[in-house]
Structure 1
């Protein structure tokens, strides 16, 4: 299993510095819903401390955690791809401190600096590929456990 890519440390220092000019420090108390599935995805966060769980609603009363994110992790990628709607929900599992980035200025910066834009898109793609690989592994493990118990 490969190590998870961290957005800010993956960017070269000059590009990271340019992106950080758009950052705003925010915090979320424990149990705060950060976003809901199908909501407008107009921002993203890089978690500085704390833990966030990504969840999927499986019924009107039940959510299933699909991933847990922590320090250095990217929270939110739907801002980058149409239709710009969240695929999952997110909730602060503990008190969270994060850098928040509004999508519009980040996208404008990427247009102005195509090198930064390409690096940012590649890094987000690496993060998504890693999360997909992790999810696939979890599904295979669950499948194998169910087959053994049958």
Structure 2
């Protein structure tokens, strides 16, 4: 899906799904990381945010998921956290440094195993005036 991590399910259900997957593949040496959500995107009127403390707070959701995975399922996984909204202009028309991870400078994650954290951002070359990536 192209929506937030919790558009079709609750944040708790999303976290439980990640715990299940991390447990399932714990003994597989080819599985070294979990990219919690590929290209976190807007959900029309409910844009994800970084650190506002509401149900759309991607930083908080990623923190909770990463901690649960590392504590309850697999302490050896790398936890990958991506920036917000790689494409599309928010409803208010302001980009707010997307898809950058600039908010990390002010509010970074402190996972229970901090050396297992990887921040990721996807950058795409200009493809013309009608494309956003």
Higher relative contact order (CA 8 A, sep 6+): 1
Which protein has the bigger helix share?
1
Q: Fold match, TM over 0.5?
A: no
Which protein has the bigger strand share?
1
TM-score by length of 2: 0.29
